[in-house]
Amino acid sequence: MREIVFDTETTGLNSGGDDRLVEIGCIELVGRVETGRTFHAYINPQRSMPAEAQAVHGLSDAFLADKPLFADIAEDLLAFLSDDAVLIAHNAMFDFGFLNAELKRCSLPPIDLARMVDTVAMARKLHPGAKHSLDALCTRYGIDRSHRVKHGALLDAELLAQLYIEMTGGRQIGLGLSGAQTQERGAAKADLVTAVPAQRTFRAPRPHAASREELARHAAFVAGIKDALWLAD
């Protein structure tokens, strides 16, 4: 199964107002294993960057000034997302809201929300009452985020991909019963094992019924037990 883990950075929180998408990062998974294929783009929002948003992701007006408009990257983005891949995001309605708002501005159809998987909702079911931020969940699952100084769409998507794999069974999901196989994940490998030996040596069944002599010796032994509990009144 093909899945896309993605994250966005924006100028603010209001996808239905004046705020715009400024970065999107996507990671491809096939069978819960990262394939190495990614999609990443910075986007010129055609508006100024609020100071509070820049403090979160570090993207300034000057940096974004020569970046493409969303309309310029929409076709490539939709091709990467395809029509059937599951789309995974942290607090997914936020990311879907901005993505679909940008598609609407380009007169393109929205992404179907039926494709959405929200890892915040997953975390709430797995760890009720705990903190569900990306940072808190990375700490819980032992995922290194020391290189995350500021938010970044591709970096956060990479962390979220690792987190999603752990929350859905970790590397144990690679265990199968059909034979020994290997799936590459970068330089690392997840080995699939088999429960059926490649060759089996036939052995005749060993005798297990007691012989007459063994039964006689057992009866004599039992008869010699003094004050047996099963003979008490």
d(CA 221, CA 229): 15
d(CA 19, CA 21): 7
Which are the contacts of 152, defined by CB distance < 8 A and separation ≥ 6? 9, 23, 25, 57, 58
Q: Determine the number of helices (DSSP H) and then strands (DSSP E) in the chain.
A: 8, 7
Burial of residue 155, with CB atoms counted within 10 A of its CB: 0-12 exposed, 13-18 middle, 19 or more buried: middle
Specify whether 151 is catalytic. Answer: yes
Note the Cα 46 to chain centre separation in Å: 34
The type of residue at 103 is L
β partners of residue 87:
4, 116
Q: Which residue has the tokens 């950075």?
A: 9
Q: Which of 40, 147, 151, 208 is catalytic?
A: 151
Burial of residue 15, with CB atoms counted within 10 A of its CB: 0-12 exposed, 13-18 middle, 19 or more buried: buried
Annotated active-site positions, please?
151
